[in-house]
Structure 1
Amino acid sequence: MLKSHSEQIGRRLFVFVMIIVLSILCISIPLVISHYREYQKSQTALIEIENLRAVAALANRISRERGPANMAMSSSQEEFEKNKQALIEYRAGVDEQIKVSIHRLDQSGYDGLEEYVAQYLNPKLAEGRKQVDHYISLPFAERTPEALDQAILTMFNAWDSSHDLLKKLVMQSKSKDSSMGHYYTMILVLADLRDQAGRVASNVTAHVTFQQPLPSDNIARALQTQKQVRYLWDLVNTIQPERHRTAEFARLHQEVKTQFIDQGLPIIMRLIDESRKGQPYFLSGTELSVAVSGKFLTVIDLQDYLLNKSVEIAKSEKDANQLNFLLTLIVSLISLLAALFTMIYVQRKVISPLIMVRDKLVELSYANALVDSNFIEDQQKQVHSLHEAMQKLQKMLHQRDEFEFELKNIANTDKLTGVSNRFALEAYTKLMEAQPNKFTQTCLMIVDIDYFKQVNDQYGHVAGDQVIQQVANCLSHNVRSTDLVVRFGGDEFLVLIENLDLEHGLRAAEKMRKGIGDLQFTDEQGQSFTVSISVGVAVGADSWKALFAKADQALFRAKAQGRNSVSS
């Protein structure tokens, strides 16, 4: 019978261990899967951003082909051969980049893009080059500004096809709606800005080359292009996130304004003005290409910086998500092993000795019923060892009580701040509900950090955690050890003080508000900032729900007053 009962205790212990293990698995597995999916998403986003950068670079190469094409078409007889050879070499580089980009997209699993290049991009580029080559093949005496302008416009169509390829790539990207989404917009805008900057001079090149007045259509295109350039330039500054506006971004952005907007565009306006007045142009066609191309190099520098920055940030997010996944996996495994180790330890050091003592006590209970005097004498000799076993049992029970107290303390404490959590609050309110008049003598304060989301967005989550910890410390230092401070939500705290009237409650809340307002915080860059709180105070109610509702309404009034205030 004794052996059977011991076996039952062993089975119950095994069931208890399995429940704990299953509970840990139920918590850990979803967390591990969630972090792994976030890591996969960030890895996909990085690949897509790198592909977008490659296709944007291809679109830029196609756009820049107009430069050597215009140089060759507007060359004098002395410079013609040199500029024609430069054009041939540049085209070879573009063709090679098209092959590399398409191979990369095909390896990344994009559908239909290779067919689009074959059916639309390559034919448009070939048509533009055909027009350029046809014009170059004409004798100088047979060349006209209209033919030159038509060749330039046909090359515009080639870039339009490459831009459509870029947009199709964005549409197929899985991460365009994620936190990296604004970089997709940025890449499209930058590609368009780069091309529009290149078109500024191309719209007037043909007639400047022939020293003939600009047709109204060319003037309209030139003015519209300049307007589009200014709009896109302002748009880049607008959509760039505030936290990513580095000193390098500010410098490059200012160089675009100084070199291209303030100095490059006026060159075109001067040529248009000279055409309208019938004056000779102050530049030739090739001189115009050289002058303006040097100015919009600043646009290319800004674009390259932002494209590289977007890839850098995507890599950073991928590395952070990978680290989170690995940490979650490791912590989950450690928790599981710790649970198993704890239960094995308890079974060997606590349960087994208890079973042994219990069995011995049962055996002794039958001692008086045995007629064998020798057996009774033997049992009496074991009394001394049993006394030692009881002392050992008492010590183990005391250790168990300490262990249980530590577990309860961990369960009722918020890990980040060290103050009480919702479990502690629930236990406290249940204790108070057992005493009907207890809530009529209790002061409840609801404390909310003002604009806490802006702290996380502007200074980062590490700084946000620092704010929450310091606010919790300040609240704890301004109450008695018998009072309860609870972290109720992300940036919301509760303070419960027994036997405190409303007047003293408002004074205490105001002291907390001023104390937190005097705190100084620093972010990872060493930048200092402060925060404020809004406090709703309520004293006395028939129940916990009624008391909480009163304090919540008071908090609402405090925020309606403009925040950083106390209300009751």
Structure 2
Amino acid sequence: MNALRSEHISRRLWLAMLVIMLSVALISLPLIVSSYRSYQKSSEALQEIQSLKMVAELSNKISRERAPANNAMSSPQDELPEQLGALRKYRAEADIQMQQAAEVLRRTGFAGAARELEQNFKPALALGRQAVDRYIALPYGQRRQEQLDQAIASMFMAWDQSHAVLQHVVSQSKGKDTALSNYYTLILLLADLRDQAGRTASNIMAAVSFNEPIPEENLARFMQTQRQTQYLWQLVNVVQPEHDKTPEFQALHRRVKSGFLDQGLPLIAGLVDESLKGQPYSMTGPQLTQAIVGKFSTVVDLQSYILQYSVDAARQELQQAKKKLIYAILIVLVSLLTVVLTMIYARKWVFEPLIVARRQLFALAQLEDRPALESSRHRQGSSIFDAISRLQKKLQQREALEFQLKHIAHSDSLTGIANRFALDEYIKLLEKQPSQFKQTCLMIIDIDNFKQVNDRCGHIAGDWVIQAVAENLKSCVRASDLLVRYGGDEFLVLIENISQETALKVAEKIRKGVLASEILQCEELAEVNVSISAGVAVGAASWMALLARADEALFRAKAKGKNTVSD
């Protein structure tokens, strides 16, 4: 009987060897298929990012068309023929680039984006150009500031459509889920940054050209655009991975900082200040365009570098995927060969000796005392269960530690409320159901005169003020609402399912509570006049739209003289 059992075991071993070989074969196929799909995905990502590069360059081309258009609309009569010639030449180049972009989009599988380019962007650009041409055709004596401003706004709408095509390409791209995802985000950010840069000057172009005060609406747009430009600039530096911040990138980055942010924006801000003080402008419309174009070119240079760098990165990704596919095939072949040789070796030098050993142990077992064997088995089982119990305790301790670490990572150390990490997680949840944004209230709360607190009373007092505001926020909202410390002295409050009227009441309650805070009434802060200003927005199509609305409301609150709530 023992011999029969040994033969049975031998057959099972052969069967196990066959199962292992089949398992390796089954594992090998998915590995090769996965490597091939990665290679195919990298190839598609390269085509996609090349298409994205072309659309981004087209979007930039349309944004830059405002410069020759503004020159033609604001030039003196003796310079008009020359400026018209430059504008027509630029338009012809843009039209060729637009046709090429449409063809590339269709060829690379973005037929929807190509249709959007033809059906939405092209008509919008035509309308913008018509508005520019109608203004140029007006006799100089009949021209008005409002007409020039409307023509400039028409070109803004044309760029908005080109940016929509750019977003369409990104949303339909499969490569945005790969290691190249940062480049897709950067391309969108830089396209928006370039346009916002242009809008800073265009918002005041009409008033400067006619030497008239800048309208309040244009001033508000200028302030919003200026803030948006600074915000986008910060995002560009954050999104760009550290290992991709090459010396060339850093040099271009410094040029944008020194040329555009430190020189271009102050130049425009100076003209705005002249308007507010009722002083004559220090330059004309054409002079403004000429002075600012060079500053904008630094943004274009950085964008062009990122676009080319992203294409090069996609090519490298494709090469790496190709190497991985080749390595996967080689590894699978080597693995199969190794398994076969190992099985042959194991049969002869492992399994057969084990069968012999089993026979010997079986013979010895006949001589052992059965109660002793049962006692030994019981002790071994207890030892195993003890080990499992200890392992479970270790896992529970680790889970508790991970929970504590996650809580710390998502909380602001000074106030104990949520930080930006928690906000990002919350936004991700909302973006899974975009309709939620239409029912969500966002308050942006900014501490007035906070810099004076730090300057006059020290940073410890500044921390007291921040903590006092945070405590007041906790007492004024529900536990289910999200409180976020968004910046040094800036807080966000997100409330779901609330009306505009109720939201304003909550914001007013917060403002009054902060004003009456015992800490803010102390002698050290008496001369600073610490208070808060709040911008309230309820409902939007997306997070960025909701943030923009609340940001505009905060600007209006600040413009009213601070210590106020605006929607």
Partners of 1:329 and 1:42 in 2: CA distance: 18
Partner amino acid for 1:161? Q
Mapping for residues 167-206 of structure 1, pairs under 5 Å: 167-206=167-206
Cα pair 2:45 2:314 within 8 Å, conserved: yes
Partner amino acid for 1:152? I
Deviation at 1:176, TM superposition (A): 2.9
Q: Which residue of 2 aligns with 1:401?
A: 349
**Structure 1 residues 184-234: Cα deviation after superposition (integer angstroms, max 9, x where no partner):** 222222111110101111111122112222222222222221111111111
Kindly tell me: are residues 434 and 186 of structure 1, through their superposed partners in 2, closer, same or farther at Cα, counting changes over 3 Å? farther
Partner amino acid for 1:206? A
1:143 and 2:91 matched:
no
Aligned-partner SS, 1:298 = helix
1:543 and 2:383 matched:
yes
**Structure 1 residues 106-158: Cα deviation after superposition (integer angstroms, max 9, x where no partner):** 01122322322222111111111111112222233332222221111111111
Partners of 2:215 and 2:176 in 1: CA distance: 42
Structure 1 spans left out of the alignment, 5+ residues: 1-10, 347-396, 406-432, 440-540, 564-568
Kindly tell me: are residues 118 and 21 of structure 1, through their superposed partners in 2, closer, same or farther at Cα, counting changes over 3 Å? same
Q: Which residue of 2 aligns with 1:93?
A: 93
Q: Which residue of 1 aligns with 2:430?
A: none
Deviation at 1:438, TM superposition (A): 8.6
Give the structure with higher Rg (CA).
Answer: 1
Partners of 2:346 and 2:190 in 1: CA distance: 71
Aligned-partner SS, 1:327 = helix
Q: Give the share of equivalent positions with the same residue, in percent.
A: 47
Kindly tell me: are residues 246 and 404 of structure 1, through their superposed partners in 2, closer, same or farther at Cα, counting changes over 3 Å? farther
Partner amino acid for 2:349? D
Mapping for residues 73-92 of structure 1, pairs under 5 Å: 73-92=73-92
Partners of 2:165 and 2:315 in 1: CA distance: 24
Cα pair 2:106 2:114 within 8 Å, conserved: yes
Deviation at 1:544, TM superposition (A): 3.1
Partners of 1:317 and 1:438 in 2: CA distance: 56
Q: Which residue of 2 aligns with 1:236?
A: 236
Deviation at 1:339, TM superposition (A): 6.0
Q: Which residue of 1 aligns with 2:526?
A: none
Partner amino acid for 1:208? V
Partner amino acid for 2:248? E
Deviation at 1:165, TM superposition (A): 1.0
Deviation at 1:25, TM superposition (A): 1.5
Partners of 2:398 and 2:136 in 1: CA distance: 77
TM-score, normalized by length of structure 1?
0.59
Partners of 1:216 and 1:13 in 2: CA distance: 87
Structure 2 spans left out of the alignment, 5+ residues: 1-10, 354-373, 405-567
Q: Aligned pairs, how many?
A: 374
**Structure 1 residues 359-394: Cα deviation after superposition (integer angstroms, max 9, x where no partner):** xxxxxxxxxxxxxxxxxxxxxxxxxxxxxxxxxxxx
Q: Which residue of 1 aligns with 2:527?
A: none
Partner amino acid for 2:137? S
Q: Which residue of 1 aligns with 2:301?
A: 301
Mapping for residues 419-568 of structure 1, pairs under 5 Å: 542-547=382-387, 549-550=389-390, 553=393
Kindly tell me: are residues 435 and 90 of structure 1, through their superposed partners in 2, closer, same or farther at Cα, counting changes over 3 Å? farther
Q: Which residue of 2 aligns with 1:226?
A: 226
**Structure 1 residues 489-527: Cα deviation after superposition (integer angstroms, max 9, x where no partner):** xxxxxxxxxxxxxxxxxxxxxxxxxxxxxxxxxxxxxxx
Deviation at 1:403, TM superposition (A): 11
Q: Which residue of 2 aligns with 1:103?
A: 103
Deviation at 1:561, TM superposition (A): 9.0
Partners of 1:126 and 1:34 in 2: CA distance: 47
Kindly tell me: are residues 16 and 544 of structure 1, through their superposed partners in 2, closer, same or farther at Cα, counting changes over 3 Å? closer
**Structure 1 residues 331-381: Cα deviation after superposition (integer angstroms, max 9, x where no partner):** 2234445667899xx7xxxxxxxxxxxxxxxxxxxxxxxxxxxxxxxxxxx
Aligned-partner SS, 1:25 = helix
Q: Which residue of 1 aligns with 2:487?
A: none
Aligned-partner SS, 1:79 = helix
Deviation at 1:59, TM superposition (A): 0.5
**Structure 1 residues 31-62: Cα deviation after superposition (integer angstroms, max 9, x where no partner):** 11111122222222222122111111110001
Aligned-partner SS, 1:296 = helix
Aligned-partner SS, 2:177 = coil
Aligned-partner SS, 2:77 = coil
Kindly tell me: are residues 545 and 299 of structure 1, through their superposed partners in 2, closer, same or farther at Cα, counting changes over 3 Å? farther
Aligned-partner SS, 1:280 = coil
Deviation at 1:14, TM superposition (A): 11
Cα pair 2:13 2:351 within 8 Å, conserved: no
**Structure 1 residues 452-509: Cα deviation after superposition (integer angstroms, max 9, x where no partner):** xxxxxxxxxxxxxxxxxxxxxxxxxxxxxxxxxxxxxxxxxxxxxxxxxxxxxxxxxx
**Structure 1 residues 271-313: Cα deviation after superposition (integer angstroms, max 9, x where no partner):** 1111122211111111100111111212112222222232232
Q: Which residue of 2 aligns with 1:429?
A: none
Kindly tell me: are residues 561 and 219 of structure 1, through their superposed partners in 2, closer, same or farther at Cα, counting changes over 3 Å? closer
Kindly tell me: are residues 434 and 202 of structure 1, through their superposed partners in 2, closer, same or farther at Cα, counting changes over 3 Å? farther
Deviation at 1:270, TM superposition (A): 1.0
Partners of 2:82 and 2:311 in 1: CA distance: 38
Aligned-partner SS, 2:174 = coil
Q: Which residue of 1 aligns with 2:425?
A: none
Q: Which residue of 1 aligns with 2:33?
A: 33
